[in-house]
Amino acid sequence: MEPGLCRLARGLHSLGLRPNHITVLSFFCSLAATAAFVAVAEPSLRGASAGILLLLSGLLDATDGAMARTYGQVSDFGAFLDSVFDRISEIIVYGSLVYSGLVDWAIGLAALSGSLMVSYARARAEQLGSEMKGIGIAERPERLLILIVATFVGQLNAGVLLIALLSAATVIQRIMHAKSAMTDVQRSDRQ
């Protein structure tokens, strides 16, 4: 675990916050970024405010898990809540980019669909016994980082298109990994 995240987790914990509180704060930062994409007209101010809010959301999203592990507060409900809020965040952020005309609707829809499928492929494969953590080139942190950079530099269409392409590649990687893992299990069951 990163020392910086541990320090942040300890600092927030000392304020009385718990992992689920951090998950909710991360979600509200995503909502605020969405509002910035939609309501701030001046491009450089929009990029700076939405970019900072997305960065803060991502930092908090990484911190909730670090806090849970550090303080022995890992729970199934916490993991569930984090996953649900992550998906809602992706939906509202990509939706706001399309709604505000900052991203072509087809590119936004492709990125959103790809992002949701990356998560679904992991959840379904893991439910069937195939470990997916670290499989694929565009997990949520990578996608969020691309979006943050694209927001700061004012290249949202290009950034979201890159997210769509890398998400599709990640889904394919996860399908191939799951097929391999599940085929190996079938072979060993037959022996």
* Distance from C-alpha of 123 to C-alpha of 138, rounded to nearest angstrom: 15
Evaluate if residue 187 carries a pLDDT over 80: no
88: Cα separation from own chain's centroid: 10
* Distance from C-alpha of 121 to C-alpha of 99, rounded to nearest angstrom: 27
Same domain, 131 and 176: yes
pTM of the model: 0.91
Q: How many domains does the chain have?
A: 2
End-to-end alpha carbon distance in the chain: 39
Q: Are 167 and 115 in contact (CB under 8 A)?
A: yes
68, 102, 136 - which closes a domain:
102
* Distance from C-alpha of 95 to C-alpha of 187, rounded to nearest angstrom: 44
Same domain, 72 and 84: yes
102, 129, 153 - which closes a domain:
102
pLDDT given at position 15: 94
Same domain, 3 and 97: yes
- Give 179's pLDDT tier (boundaries 50, 70, 90): very high
Is 76 among the catalytic positions? Answer: no
The percentage of residues in the chain with a pLDDT greater than 90, rounded to a whole number, is 84
Nearest C-alpha neighbor of 151 from the set 59, 53, 51: 51
HSE-CB for 2 with a 13 A CA cutoff: 9
Residue in 61, 64, 82, 86 annotated catalytic:
86
Rounded (5°) CA angle 89-123-185: 165
Evaluate if residue 53 carries a pLDDT over 60: yes
Same domain, 64 and 75: yes
For residue 133, what are the domain limits? 103-191
CATH number at residue 135: 1.20.120.1760
Mean pLDDT of the chain: 93
Same domain, 86 and 179: no
